[in-house]
Amino acid sequence: MEQTTVDQAKQLGLTESEFDKIKELIGRIPNFTELGIFSAMWNEHCSYKSSRVWLSKLPTKNKYVVQGPGENAGVIDIGDDDVAIFKIESHNHPSYIEPYQGAATGVGGILRDVFTMGARPIANLNSIRFGKPEHPKTKHLLNGVVSGIAGYGNCMGIPTVGGEVEFDECYDGNILVNAMNIGLAKKNKVFLSIASGVGNPVIYVGSKTGRDGIHGASMASQEFDDNSEAKKPTVQVGDPFAEKLLLEACLELMKTDTIISIQDMGAAGLTSSSVEMASKGKLGIEIDLNKVPCRETEMQPFELMLSESQERMLIVLKEGKEKEAEKIFKKWDLDFSVIGKMTNSKNLVLHFNKEVVCDIPISSLADEAPKYNREWISTPLPEEINIDKKLNDLDIKDCLIKLLTHPNQSNKSWVWEQYDHMVMGDTIQKPGGDAAVVRVHGTNKAIAATVDCTPRYCFAHPHTGGMQAVCETYRNLSAVGAEPRAITNCLNFGNPEKKEIMGQFVEVIKGMSEACLALDYPVISGNVSLYNETNGIGIKPTPTIGGVGLIQDSNKSTTISIKATGNLLLIIGETKGHIHQSALCYDILHIKKGPPPTINLAEEKKNSLFVRNLINKKIAQSVHDISDGGIALTIAEMCMSGKIGANITTNLIDAERIKFLFGEDQARYVVEVRSADYDNVVKLAKEQEVSLLQIGSTKAENLTIDDMKITVEDMLTLNNKWFHNYNSN
């Protein structure tokens, strides 16, 4: 068998010391196929070698968690033997290179992660971030990514119910495409990837294998440079139709008693799926590569093992169940092939053309993969600066209009109207509110879900930013009346070999951990995307958090739309006027210094509970959490959504008034209540020591703040125009 060199190892993305370690582990020099398998399993994407040390510090348990990190997706209990299964994952690099296919296969991948576990996917969400709108590539990338998400999700017939879209120059060379999916299953029908039973057959199902995305997993772990465009041929093409068939076939198979374990072929394809199943089951696996269904001729072992062709699954069946399973996959016009079996050798053994082309211990690929405790430095909390002079000169209406027309705060319906957000007939709250709400089919309960992150906070102070991202999802779920249960995270960062970037990662994790612990809101699944850098410039730390909560009674949920005139508007949570790092400072005034708002986890918990109680008792008519743009933009959004005005009085002037209206203190909500309920609400707030301020009332047509006046109609026109104008030429 041919031997490999350190140069070949380097070409595959391994370091010299990693190559030495491989030789030591297997006691000889690996051949080319083996080296390829090591490079795929040991790269950042599969091994989490830079992040593992820190990820293990995240809280992963509470009384609802059925399955935490380590499986294809996490599982939480939602009562009545039902479970929700969910995960978020990045597809950043492929989407930059080929936005349509990159985003589409990102959606396809996360869907497989969820239905592999036995769930029927019920909701897609996504978080997409692009460079500044003026950047020559942004429009093309935005259009490609949105169409790709739409193309795949719509065809699958799974509603895309929520997400976020943001523009910031730090993403000019590295866009982020994070896709999340939630599925539902019965608690005793959850399928895992732990193989068992020596001799059990290993089955390949789905589409055929081509040369797609060979070494996509390694690509996702390398920095970009100007030659990245030339790496294009590794991008996979998605076939949502094939995936729809695969979904139905897998769910049909799962109703029979045939499956031991099941794993989708995602990053590093057949390699990672076979190694993971065997590793978890502490077994060996033997595969005859000649039995892998191929789309192209003369595919070599290296290619067969590393291909990232989409819409494929690996299944370990109970012995003798092959025929039963094959019948189902044939019905759905899918490939089905028995390609190997589980063994007790604890090795990965591959046969090709009657030769053994790979024989390496599974443990060397998984448990023994490198783990780095990379050096890191802390980001200190930035000092406050006095910007009162600048704020004194600002006009409220001007600030509000600039925010309403800014791409980051503009109405995103141009995006989500391209997504079928209603198919499956259970969408209670469509995109555009605080969180999406989707009914659990055939019941009266509902799942609420949201994805959030505020990268400018994370960049200013990663520790605070990590906490804030978790809290923001907690608040968004609370605002629709859901009890927050658990999160999934997608940690997007720059090059971890740089101390300050590694420091951002470490401190974001620390912040997240504190928030998760305090809120009893653990991490149950996720993914890490490092090396989001081009020509040495990294993205802002972007820990995208996907939060999931439960609404026990679908009729007890609320939206951000103001419901009627003559109601009162209350601010829940204390307003101090923290203006640094606000959307107003950052995006409009371009003042990027200063600390992000402080997080008080006890307040978060208390205020959330208070708001949820008001919703539950049907006292809250509408609720909107206060985030980007502060009180002013939050109330403007409530007016636009309900097409009803409001009358706000601040009793403040100059800089203090600007800070009050546009500051982004955390743990706050605007709640609309009937005036008849006011005394009762004040009493409840006192009892629970919750800060409450009546700031105004609702009325027809106009939003007035002190002496400023703007019609709701005008705000709608302003808020709706950016995306349409940007994409119409």
Partner 1 sequence: MKFEIFVTLKKDVLDPQGKAVEGAIKNLGLSTISNIRQGKYFTLEVAETDEHKAKQQAEEACKKLLANLTIEEYSIKKLS
Partner 2 sequence: MKASVIVFPGSNCDRDIQVALEKFQIATTMVWHQETELPKSDLVVLPGGFSYGDYLRCGSMASKSKIMKEVIQYAGTGGYVFGICNGFQILTEAGLLPGALLRNNKLKFICKDVQIKTINNQTAFTKKLSEHKILTVPIAHNDGNFFASKEEIQSLKDNNQIVFQYCDKEGNISGESNPNGSFLNIAGIVNKNKNVLGMMPHPERVIDQLLGGTDGQEIFRSLL
Residues at the contact surface with partner 1, assessed by CB under 8 A = 97-98, 101, 207, 210-212, 232-233, 235-242, 295-296, 309-310, 333
Q: Is 155 in the site for partner 2 (CB under 8 A)?
A: yes
Q: Which of 422, 564, 676, 700 binds partner 2 (CB under 8 A)?
A: 422
Q: Which of 237, 423, 591, 708 binds partner 2 (CB under 8 A)?
A: 423
The region of 20-28, 414-422, 562-570, 609-617 touching partner 2 under the rule CB under 8 A is 414-422
162 vs 596 by CB, closer to partner 2:
162
The region of 67-75, 421-429, 499-507, 642-650 touching partner 2 under the rule CB under 8 A is 421-429
8 Å CB contact between 703 and 636: yes
106 vs 162 by CB, closer to partner 1:
106
Which of partner 1, partner 2, none does residue 237 bind to, with CB < 5 to 8 Å depending on kind? partner 1
The 8-class DSSP code of residue 234 comes to: G
CA-based R_g, the chain, Å:
26
Rounded least distance, CB 647 to partner 2, Å = 27
Residue 714, both tokens: 């005008």
User: How many Å is the maximal CA-CA distance in the chain?
Assistant: 85
Tell which residue, 502, 485, 486, has the closest CA to residue 494.
Answer: 502
Question: Bridge-partner residues for 526, per DSSP?
Answer: 489
Rounded least distance, CB 293 to partner 1, Å = 12
240 vs 494 by CB, closer to partner 1:
240
Rounded least distance, CB 439 to partner 2, Å = 8
How many other C-beta atoms are found inside a 10 Å radius of the C-beta of residue 330? 12
Rounded least distance, CB 576 to partner 2, Å = 38
Helix (H) or strand (E) holding 248: helix 240-254
Active site residue 45: yes
- In degrees, rounded to 5, the angle at the alpha carbon of residue 649 between the alpha carbons of residues 660 and 691 is 60
Q: In what order do the strands lie in the sheet with 568-572?
A: 620-625, 669-673, 568-572, 692-699, 645-648, 702-705, 708-711
Which of partner 1, partner 2, none does residue 428 bind to, with CB < 5 to 8 Å depending on kind? partner 2
Rounded least distance, CB 448 to partner 1, Å = 34
Question: Bridge-partner residues for 166, per DSSP?
Answer: 129
The region of 9-17, 369-377, 425-433, 592-600 touching partner 2 under the rule CB under 8 A is 425-433
Helix (H, G, I), strand (E, B) or coil at 466: helix
253 vs 539 by CB, closer to partner 2:
253
Exposure pattern of 375-390 as b/e (b: 16+ CB <10 Å)? ebeebeeeeeeebeee
Which of partner 1, partner 2, none does residue 423 bind to, with CB < 5 to 8 Å depending on kind? partner 2
The region of 229-237, 257-265, 418-426, 593-601 touching partner 2 under the rule CB under 8 A is 418-426
Q: Which of 427, 476, 532, 581 binds partner 2 (CB under 8 A)?
A: 427
Site for partner 2 in 516-575 (CB under 8 A): 554-555
Rounded least distance, CB 330 to partner 1, Å = 12
Q: Is 157 in the site for partner 2 (CB under 8 A)?
A: yes
How many other C-beta atoms are found inside a 10 Å radius of the C-beta of residue 212? 23
> Exposed, middle or buried: residue 650 (CB in 10 Å: 0-12, 13-18, 19+)?
middle
> Exposed, middle or buried: residue 143 (CB in 10 Å: 0-12, 13-18, 19+)?
middle
The region of 148-156, 297-305, 516-524, 657-665 touching partner 2 under the rule CB under 8 A is 148-156
Which of partner 2, partner 1, none does residue 593 bind to, with CB < 5 to 8 Å depending on kind? none
> Exposed, middle or buried: residue 257 (CB in 10 Å: 0-12, 13-18, 19+)?
exposed
Q: Is 16 in the site for partner 2 (CB under 8 A)?
A: no
Q: Which of 228, 363, 378, 413 binds partner 2 (CB under 8 A)?
A: 413
Tell which residue, 128, 124, 140, 121, has the closest CA to residue 103.
Answer: 128
8 Å CB contact between 261 and 195: yes
Rounded least distance, CB 656 to partner 1, Å = 54
**Residues in contact with partner 2, shown as a per-residue x/- string from 78 to 117 under the rule CB under 8 A:** ----------------------------------------
Q: Which residue has the tokens 């949105």?
A: 146
241 vs 717 by CB, closer to partner 1:
241
Site for partner 2 in 437-466 (CB under 8 A): 439
Which of partner 2, partner 1, none does residue 147 bind to, with CB < 5 to 8 Å depending on kind? partner 2
Which of partner 1, partner 2, none does residue 156 bind to, with CB < 5 to 8 Å depending on kind? partner 2
265 to 92, 158, 313, 453, 584: CA distances (angstroms): 18, 21, 5, 29, 44
Note the Cα 536 to chain centre separation in Å: 25
Tell which residue, 195, 324, 359, has the closest CA to residue 262.
Answer: 195
13 vs 238 by CB, closer to partner 1:
238
Helix (H) or strand (E) holding 671: strand 669-673
The total number of residues written for the chain in this structure: 729
Q: Which of 421, 485, 580, 659 binds partner 2 (CB under 8 A)?
A: 421
Question: Bridge-partner residues for 527, per DSSP?
Answer: 490
Catalytic residue, from 91, 93, 463, 580: name it: 91
Which of partner 1, partner 2, none does residue 212 bind to, with CB < 5 to 8 Å depending on kind? partner 1
d(CA 460, CA 381) in angstroms, rounded, equals: 7
Q: Which residue has the tokens 């093992």?
A: 305
Catalytic residue, from 45, 406, 580, 624: name it: 45
Which of partner 1, partner 2, none does residue 426 bind to, with CB < 5 to 8 Å depending on kind? partner 2
- Total residues contacting partner 2 (rule CB under 8 A)? 33
d(CA 650, CA 656) in angstroms, rounded, equals: 10
SS3 of 156-177: HCCCEEEEEEEECHHHCCCCEE
Question: Bridge-partner residues for 121, per DSSP?
Answer: 183
Site for partner 2 in 228-247 (CB under 8 A): 239-242, 244-245
Catalytic (active-site) positions: 45, 91
List residues near partner 2 by CB under 8 A.
147, 150-151, 154-157, 239-242, 244-245, 332-333, 413, 416-428, 430, 439, 554-555
